Amino acid sequence: MVGCICIFVTSICYGIVGTLTRIMQKLHFAKVLAHYQLIAGSIMLFALVVETLIMWQPMRIFTTYSWQVWMLMLAASLANSFGLQFNTVANQNERPGFIMIIGYIGIVYAFLGDIFIFDSTFNTIALIGVTITFICTAFLMVYKLWFKAS
């Protein structure tokens, strides 16, 4: 239940960010990203300090992770950074609605990751859902690109 609430709030936030980024089209994307990172870093630092004060322990970010976990966090952070940069540039240059539609392809990538990395198995309904998502997204992309061209 917590995951569903979090992803619902995330979807709303991404919609707002996409629209606001489109409004800031005249700003260089690096300036927009610098402000995103400054705000996110400040919020994260605040959360870590509050957690440290409440638990009365050293910051867990420095004490509990192995080097393998640090490498995974680095890889995830780099992928997230590139994704955020490309998403910002895309939202500044296209309609956010179209960008969000293309973002549904992430469902297919997550599904493939579950299969090949985590060896998950899925029932027929999940397979049908991913197939419908992929087909609808591909159709909408082609339709929007073709409709825009004509």
Place 138 in a pLDDT band, splitting at 50, 70 and 90.
Answer: confident
Q: Is the dihedral of CA 43, 48, 53, 54 positive or negative?
A: positive
**Length of the chain counted residue by residue:** 150
- Dihedral of the alpha carbons of 38, 61, 12, 9, in degrees to the nearest 10: -150
- CA atoms of 1 and 138, how far apart (whole Å): 30
Q: How remote is the C-alpha of 51 from its chain's centroid? A: 25
Please give the tally of structural domains in the chain: 1
Tell whether the model's pLDDT for residue 150 goes beyond 70: no
Rounded to two decimals, the pTM is 0.65
Domain enclosing residue 90, as ranges: 2-149
Q: What percent of the chain has pLDDT over 90?
A: 3
Which residues fall within 8 angstroms of residue 61, CB to CB, at 6 or more apart? 48
Over residues 56-101, the pLDDT tens digits come to 877 776 667 788 888 998 999 899 888 888 888 888 887 777 777 7
Over residues 8-49, the pLDDT tens digits come to 888 888 888 878 888 888 888 888 888 888 888 899 889 888
In sequence order, what E strands does 65-137 have? none
**Quick one: which of 84, 130, 80, 140 has its CA closest to 109?**
130
